[in-house]
Chain A
């Protein structure tokens, strides 16, 4: 047999073998891939359940000792805890829930309009050359570690806010109805400072998602608006914004999710007052996350650690509730604007 022919035969044999093998492989490969996927999916759910279970079981001794409802008051004073007595419960957490909520809400009030504005600028107004740079810069904001934001809060923001103290204490505080939110004295470290730091931290989330949403607005909508003689503002108002509403709400809630759990930057500027609710945003407060960060390492009072886990559990529930609400709202708005098509 000539050498060439032998080679050809051999090649044909190997190629058909390869075909068979690859078929087999594809089938086993598919199976492996499918199972891997399934396993990862299950693992994520299992992990979440395990975490909730762990936090709850660590909190149980305290919940048993004091009773669930006794945690709903506004005084947190571990130094008054004792093994023997279960009433009054020294570990009230309502002020932390309030603190977490108010700080996040103010942060959103500041960052959503600014974030949407920045996103509109990037997607609608800004010259093409700058687009990439600006996008990268806003994304870099997300890469700054939160402890650095805390530093910035202490070193720049707090001194910068202080000159405004007089205006807030003397003018805003006199407005009937809302004046109570601006009562002094204002020392800089406050709920307000924490909210401003947070608002900058959630900006990149709001900007990035809003930008994505704006880019999905169909060409036809824009062109229709332009054809009707709309100015740039009118195009944005009548074509871009209505189409993107549910997406922007979704973006805000994702930002809110980050705000609720943010710990170290908030701890550094909020002033950490755990003994009650300060209705004034110029006063000191605390959040569920900040009290845990502050007290976990040296929690050695009776039921102290266990009560911190109660706070942790409350934070988990709060985040869960906010996420569910967000999903419901986004789904409803999506249906209302006919976005699904």
Chain B
């Protein structure tokens, strides 16, 4: 008798464990590059960019290591670059992905050879940098995409900035709201409450997303109380569930029928999430993918200091919720060996690194941006004289 009594609970435990295992799916490594293009979209298989050589020659006599710290978003591609660069040259590049804020802090305090950030440094931050003027070198582009869970609806629901703004401000609360239905006349949308999911941690992803909502949705700006409060790495979300990291947001969306959230494009592609198309300035609903992000960079105006924004950019195929990530280096270097290695590494990124960006679903920078970045690298100085030859 006792044995039977104990077997049942044990069985229940086993069943529970099996249920747990069954639920955790979608964690496979999707190493496919590129996604299927929607109708009328320029997306497709990724291809490497065709850049002319940068013309920066490799310098001898450099140090055998570099240290960097900062943004988490480009960390996967930076570690790929670091390992490839080590294979090619033997130089060790140690990158700690501690967050953009940390990257700005560390380069300002001169505790690393380069910093990294998803948002350009503000003027107030630049004035605090201990080593003088800081150069912004864009490396790769990324995008933030709306992702949702609705039974029977895969990728391709259409949104405008204003509708997304109203959803995230809690002003559109149901999927069968007229404003969403009008954008998606062919889709049969359920009468379900919308569960909004946002990031709970401060993040460059949120920065790009809210900058876009601020640019495209007056309702969003009004709900948050003005331009200065409606965009940033963290905002006062009027509604919603907070998830930590891209994986926290996608888990919350994946577990909640009727949820909508936003994640990095590369994350969405790898996890094969359902993503929405967003209307750009040219009036086209654009499928997010590497080609449309690069198109956004081509349509954007780039200032000389390269502290640009490609949110809501012009261009017929520009995906509007796009952004860049930068390496931060001092214009005036003090250590000859480090300066040489730094220039070598940056030049290598521009010549070789960019070619592999799309294998990890990052968009390489546009040709125009790349030319400007190369000019910046050539401007790095040691005791007043350019380092690069």
Q: Which residues of A contact B (CB under 8 A)?
A: 75, 77-80, 127, 130, 151-152, 154-156, 158-159, 185, 187-189, 267-268, 271-275, 284, 286, 290, 293-295, 297-301
Q: CB-CB contacts of B328-355 with A at 8 A, as 1s and 0s?
A: 0000000000000000000000000000
Contact between chains at A267 and B101 (CB < 8 Å): no
Cβ of B100 < 8 Å from any Cβ of A? yes
Given the contacts A78-B234, A79-B229, A159-B255, A284 and B241 also touching, CB distance less than 8 Å: yes
Total interface residues on B, using CB and 8 Å? 40
The stretch that binds A, out of B75-83, B133-141, B244-252, B366-374, is: B244-252
- Nearest B residue to A90, CB-CB: B236
- Nearest B residue to A159, CB-CB: B255
B240: chain A residues at CB < 8 Å are 273, 284
Query: Closest CB-CB distance, A212 to chain B, in whole Å?
Result: 23
Query: Closest CB-CB distance, B23 to chain A, in whole Å?
Result: 4
- 20 A-B pairs with C-beta separation under 8 A: A80-B229, A152-B20, A155-B23, A156-B16, A156-B19, A189-B241, A189-B243, A267-B200, A272-B200, A272-B242, A272-B243, A272-B244, A275-B236, A284-B241, A286-B200, A286-B242, A294-B242, A295-B234, A300-B202, A301-B232
Question: A-B pairs with the 6 shortest C-beta distances?
Answer: A272-B242, A298-B202, A272-B200, A77-B236, A297-B99, A300-B101
Q: CB-CB contacts of B212-247 with A at 8 A, as 1s and 0s?
A: 000000000000010001001111111011111000
Cβ of B385 < 8 Å from any Cβ of A? no
- Nearest B residue to A275, CB-CB: B236
B259: chain A residues at CB < 8 Å are 187
Measured CA separation A109–B236 after assembly (Å): 32
Contact between chains at B23 and A268 (CB < 8 Å): no
Given the contacts A156-B19, A156-B20, A301-B234, A295 and B202 also touching, CB distance less than 8 Å: yes
Measured CA separation A268–B243 after assembly (Å): 7
Among candidates B19, B195, B201, B255, residue contacting A294 with C-beta atoms closer than 8 Å: B201
Measured CA separation A151–B27 after assembly (Å): 12
Cβ of B6 < 8 Å from any Cβ of A? yes
- Nearest B residue to A83, CB-CB: B124
Contact between chains at B6 and A130 (CB < 8 Å): yes
B2: chain A residues at CB < 8 Å are 127
Beyond A156-B16, A273-B242, A275-B238, 10 additional pairs, beta carbon < 8 A: A79-B235, A80-B236, A130-B6, A152-B20, A188-B255, A189-B241, A267-B244, A272-B241, A284-B240, A297-B98
Contact between chains at A297 and B236 (CB < 8 Å): no
Contact between chains at B201 and A295 (CB < 8 Å): yes
Cβ of B377 < 8 Å from any Cβ of A? no
User: Which residues in chain B, 167-214, are within 8 Å of chain A measured between CB atoms?
Assistant: 193, 195, 200-203
Among candidates B100, B193, B255, residue contacting A298 with C-beta atoms closer than 8 Å: B100
Measured CA separation A130–B235 after assembly (Å): 54
Contact between chains at B203 and A298 (CB < 8 Å): yes
A293: chain B residues at CB < 8 Å are 201, 244
Measured CA separation A224–B193 after assembly (Å): 62
Measured CA separation A272–B244 after assembly (Å): 9
B202: chain A residues at CB < 8 Å are 78, 294-295, 297-300
Measured CA separation A130–B16 after assembly (Å): 21
Among candidates B101, B203, B248, residue contacting A268 with C-beta atoms closer than 8 Å: B248
- Nearest B residue to A155, CB-CB: B23
User: Which residues in chain B, 250-279, are within 8 Å of chain A measured between CB atoms?
Assistant: 251-252, 255-256, 259
- Nearest B residue to A137, CB-CB: B13
B200: chain A residues at CB < 8 Å are 267, 272, 274, 286, 290, 294
Cβ of B62 < 8 Å from any Cβ of A? no
Contact between chains at A300 and B244 (CB < 8 Å): no
Measured CA separation A299–B256 after assembly (Å): 29
Contact between chains at B104 and A155 (CB < 8 Å): no
Query: Closest CB-CB distance, A101 to chain B, in whole Å?
Result: 20
Contact between chains at A298 and B23 (CB < 8 Å): no
B52: chain A residues at CB < 8 Å are none
Measured CA separation A187–B201 after assembly (Å): 20
